[in-house]
Amino acid sequence: MSDCVVLRANWVLPVTHPPIAHGEVVVEEGRIAEVRPARGVLDARTGRDFGAAVILPGLVNAHTHLDYTLFRGLVEDREFFAWIRELVKRSRLLSEEDWRISAMLGAAEAVAGGITAIGDCTPTGASLEAAKTFGLGGVIYQEVFGIGEEQSVEETIRELAQKGAALKKESTGSRLTVGISPHAPYTVRPALFQALARWANQNQLPICIHAAESREELELLLEGRGVMAQSLKERCISWHIPRQSVVAYLDHLGIIGAQTLLVHGVNVSAKDCVLAQQRRAAWVHCPKSNAKLGNGVAPLALLCPLHEAEARIGLGTDSVVSNNTLDMFEEMRFAVLLQRAARRRVDALTAKQAISLATLGGAQVLGLKDVGSLEVGKRADLCVVRLDRLHAMPNYDPYSALVYTAHASDVVLTMIDGRVRYDAALHAEMKYRFPENDLAPLFASLPHLTACLQASLGA
């Protein structure tokens, strides 16, 4: 007997095709076998009818830092650079085991919120094990820093190669690939960027860079002044002012290409965006994080023409330190509302386009060819969102319901590769809703870890 499962709901949203009212998705051996209008009586052993709910592709969170889950709510209401410095300071307090627990909690939150793939930047490597444990797909980018010359370029790359090899080995048997993330123009020196570009190219590695995120970063690049320049001066790090925009600067260093994922893109000109498009680079839009840190609103229409079939842009929450959740429904809502507010146009971003960014767009920018939509033959990565709660009733259109009213906590089922990874019907308590993972030990260690971090605030 084949492992055929039929999931039925009032709406099926394939993303690449119009919504199906009263539809069902047939899953066979981890793949989508059929997407069709509901028919016949469901077999109680293999079928499940979710009623007032939407079945949609698993969400792709194209930019996260699962490692930092324990820092949620710890560093609030600071200016961007002060916020980063505070984060770095607190990061030194965690042990390897603490990072592991932190990333595991993040992976659990992602899966419970309907996320099935991520683009994650990790300084410690902990997020790979966490993502693998919970079945997540996507790309894990090993972060690399080096604005000063404490370590030679060769030494940094040697170390990076070792970390990358360890991650690659650990990724065996998972849906994850490994890339590198030279953090940002203010944390990686030009010579290191150039060497990393060559090295990544030789090894065919995907690259992720935080780019054009803050005003402080732009000041450093254009004029060599501001808090970032001041910090370099205090640390006796020499800085040759490039007098270029962030995108032009990175391109000049040879690190922008078809394998490059640029995160944020708040401070960009039309010229920058054309340049990135010519290089076939992709973007991740993180509206909530950009807003919370006071960095601004990215000009989405410039970054990427959304009407193009192969729009190279995805949506990401960024870490929970700047968000403070991995809720992709809220991220879609912010994306739409902020674009409309900034451009004073209702058509600046539609609910339908936001869903596309959060699913197919994310899959495209991470190079995941067989996810992102409910289509026959693709992997059975999907989630089910209930629409029968007070805040979601009534509903007339699935796009509107998902983008303007839904929350991550409305997800009732997350399936990855045809396997149920989260099921709200399993247990009333969140920690027991993961059929393949035991969250109880993670929850048990939380009070101690948070107490340690809380105590550090006075330091």
Give the binding site for Zn ion (CB under 5 A): 318
Residue 318 or 381: which CB sits closer to Zn ion?
Answer: 318
Strand 282-285: give its sheet, edge to edge.
59-64, 115-122, 137-144, 175-182, 207-211, 260-264, 282-285, 313-315
d(CA 409, CA 113): 6
d(CA 381, CA 371): 7
Residue nearest to Zn ion (CB): 318
Q: How far is the CB of 213 from Zn ion (least distance, A)?
A: 8
108 close to 437: Cβ distance less than 8 angstroms: yes
d(CA 325, CA 5): 31
Q: How far is the CB of 344 from Zn ion (least distance, A)?
A: 29
144: which strand partners? 182
Residue 80 or 249: which CB sits closer to Zn ion?
Answer: 80
Q: How far is the CB of 208 from Zn ion (least distance, A)?
A: 9
Q: How far is the CB of 453 from Zn ion (least distance, A)?
A: 20
Residue 318 or 423: which CB sits closer to Zn ion?
Answer: 318
Residue 83 or 399: which CB sits closer to Zn ion?
Answer: 83
Distances (CA, A) of 350 to 21, 336, 346, 353, 380: 20, 6, 8, 5, 26
Q: How far is the CB of 286 from Zn ion (least distance, A)?
A: 7
Q: How far is the CB of 430 from Zn ion (least distance, A)?
A: 26
Residue 20 or 66: which CB sits closer to Zn ion?
Answer: 66
- Give the residue from 94, 100, 11, 25 showing the smallest Cα distance to 53: 11
- Give the residue from 337, 339, 285 showing the smallest Cα distance to 311: 285
H helix or E strand, kind and range, residue 103: helix 96-112
Q: How far is the CB of 182 from Zn ion (least distance, A)?
A: 13
263 close to 303: Cβ distance less than 8 angstroms: no
Residue 264 or 333: which CB sits closer to Zn ion?
Answer: 264
- Give the residue from 288, 278, 261 showing the smallest Cα distance to 200: 261
213 close to 263: Cβ distance less than 8 angstroms: yes
Residue 319 or 414: which CB sits closer to Zn ion?
Answer: 319
